[in-house]
Amino acid sequence: MSRRIALSVVAGVVVLGGAGAFALAYAGDQPPVLAHSTAHYTAPEKGRSGSFTFTTEVTASSGVKSLKVLGWPEKSEFAKKQLTAKEMAEVESATCKPTGEHTARCVYKVPVTAADATSSQHGTWHVAVLATAVDGSTTFDRKAADFTVG
How far apart are the C-alpha atoms of 26 and 40, rounded to whole Å? 36
Mean pLDDT score, 58-69: 97
pLDDT digits (tens, 9 = 90+) for 92-137: 999 999 999 999 999 999 999 999 999 999 999 999 999 999 999 9
Determine the pLDDT at residue 79. Answer: 84
pTM (whole model) above 0.75: yes
**Of all helices (H) and strands (E), which one includes residue 114?**
helix 114-119
Mean pLDDT score, 29-49: 94
With cut-offs at 50, 70 and 90, classify the pLDDT of residue 30.
confident
pLDDT digits (tens, 9 = 90+) for 65-92: 999 999 999 999 888 888 899 999 889 9
Average model confidence (pLDDT) across the chain: 85
Determine the pLDDT at residue 127. Answer: 97
With cut-offs at 50, 70 and 90, classify the pLDDT of residue 28.
low
- Determine how many CB atoms are found less than 10 A away from the CB of residue 128: 22
Determine the pLDDT at residue 13. Answer: 40
Helix, strand, coil shares of the chain, percent, nearest 5, are 25, 45, 25
Determine the pLDDT at residue 132. Answer: 96
Better-predicted residue by pLDDT, 11 or 117: 117
Instruction: Give the angle 56-107-134 at the CA atoms, nearest 5°.
Output: 75
